[in-house]
Structure 1
Amino acid sequence: MARNFKPYMITQFQSFIHTLDLKRKINHIQIHHTWEPRKSDYKGESTIASMWRYHTETRGWQDIGQHFTVAPDGLIWDGRSLEKDPAGITGYNRGGIMFEMIGNFDQGEETLEGEQLDAIIAAVRVLLLKFNLSTNDIVFHREHSAKTCPGTGITRGWFLNEVKNRKIMELNPNSYDNADQWKRIAIDWLYEEGLISAEDWKDNINKGLPLWAEALVLKRIYDKAKA
């Protein structure tokens, strides 16, 4: 049976988490890397679906192991129900929320940087605030396993310093001045409705929709109505 997955931009992820009402007690945040697939293997939702198939069909789990997957392009894909513990660290899953970062971040391999780094740091900050946790509650897979996960190229000290100090895009859309508010709301809506792509969203979110994009949206609405 096929399974669909939903992507979030950082501000969308923040809004989703802030409105969340979980029955399950959250006491830590798990950080993992996929190792495989690598960043260079990423092909959008099909990559997430492949992981889901591996977890459910090969490993026999009820669902994909992680709650969220952070992609190289900065999208945060949903996964396992947040009311269920992750399948991440044997014997240490109770109360956890699990992030899987696509890539092999062992030394000499790929690098956690750019939009992907912004996304994981922003997402972790949102969860720390939501569940009243501290950076001491961030857990690397390798702390309870012989694995290198989330990669020998990522030290705990560096990662926690990024969580505390990294400057990233403003998380709160309400902090934008009034002249920009309508712009962000409209562009977010167009993306959520599938009328513009993630690439279009990134292109336009801080500069407003140019005329070509408005024409493209109208054409896609027309095409949908004809279908």
Structure 2
Amino acid sequence: MRTINKIIIHCSATPECRDVSPEEVTRWHVEERGWSDVGYHFIITIDGVVHSGRPIERQGAHAKGHNSDSIGVCYIGGMDSEMKSAKDTRTYEQKESLVNLICELKDTYGGTVYGHRDFSNKECPSFDATKEYENISNRY
């Protein structure tokens, strides 16, 4: 098993209230980008269901320069309805699922929680994940 030092939170950069399936995200990565698989290890749909993506044993493709020691988690959403600006569109169910998943991953693998924006010049995941989840990061 690879060493995990980071849990990196992402958004799909899709408009609020538009449900996007994990299969569609996989298609974007495989067919449109030519990757071998979806880049994220987990995808959380707007109903809060956590879907498995790339197996954790395999390095992700979600944060350039930080994939070898991280787990990538993506929630569907992150943009306003007109796709003009980043917006924290997480539903109550997504927020609950994110906390539960992060706690489970921390229990199993350890690591610190970050947002993609901490490693990239992007607004992803449309909120400050490092600050929001610092209590989870620090309690282990």
- Asked if TM exceeds 0.5, the reply is yes
Whole-angstrom CA distance in 1 between matches of 2:18 and 2:101: 23
Identity %: 29
CA distance in structure 2 between the aligned counterparts of 1:105 and 1:119, rounded to whole angstroms: 19
Structure-2 separation of matches of 1:79 and 1:68? 5
**Structure 1 residues 108 and 144: alpha-carbon distance in aligned structure 2, compared to 1, 3 A threshold:** closer
So what's the TM-score if we normalise by structure 1? Answer: 0.53
Unaligned runs of 5+ in 1: 1-22, 165-227
The separation in 1 between residues aligned to 2:76 and 2:41, in whole angstroms, is 13
- C-alpha distance in 2 between matches for 1:108 and 1:34: 11
Greater CA drift, 122-131 or 155-164: 155-164
Among candidates 48, 57, 61, match of residue 74 of structure 1: 48
RMSD: 2.2
Q: Kindly tell me: are residues 74 and 156 of structure 1, through their superposed partners in 2, closer, same or farther at Cα, counting changes over 3 Å?
A: closer
Instruction: For 1:40, give the aligned amino acid.
Output: C
CA drift of 1:113 comes to: 3.6
In the TM superposition, residue 111 of structure 1 has moved relative to its aligned partner by 2.7
Q: Which residue of 2 aligns with 1:144?
A: 119
Contact 1:68 1:80 in 2 (8 A): yes
Counterpart residue type for residue 89 of structure 1? A
The answer to whether the aligner puts 1:24 opposite 2:2 as a matched pair is yes
Aligned to 1:89: 63
Q: How does 1:43-82 map to 2 (within 5 A)?
A: 47-82=21-56
Tell me the equivalent position of 1:179: none
- Matched residue of 1:41: which SS? coil
- Letter of the 1:116 partner, please give it: Q
The residue correspondences of 1:1-227 to structure 2 (distance < 5 A) are 23-36=1-14, 38-42=15-19, 47-104=21-78, 109-133=87-111, 137-151=112-126, 154-156=127-129, 158-160=131-133, 163=136
Name the structure, 1 or 2, with higher relative contact order (CA <8 Å, separation 6+): 2
Distance 2:117 2:61 in 1: 14
Cα shift at 1:157: 5.7
Contact kept in structure 1, 2:9 and 2:116, CA below 8 Å: yes
Q: Is the 8 A contact 1:52 1:63 kept in 2?
A: yes
The offset of 1:90, in angstroms, is 1.0
Deviation at 1:67, TM superposition (A): 0.5
1:158 CA drift (Å): 4.7
Pairwise CA distance, 1:162: 7.0
Checking the alignment, whether the CA contact within 8 Å between 1:121 and 1:162 is kept in structure 2 is no
Question: How many Å separate the matches in 2 of 1:62 and 1:41?
Answer: 26
Deviations 1:69-88 (A, max 9, x none): 01111100111121111111
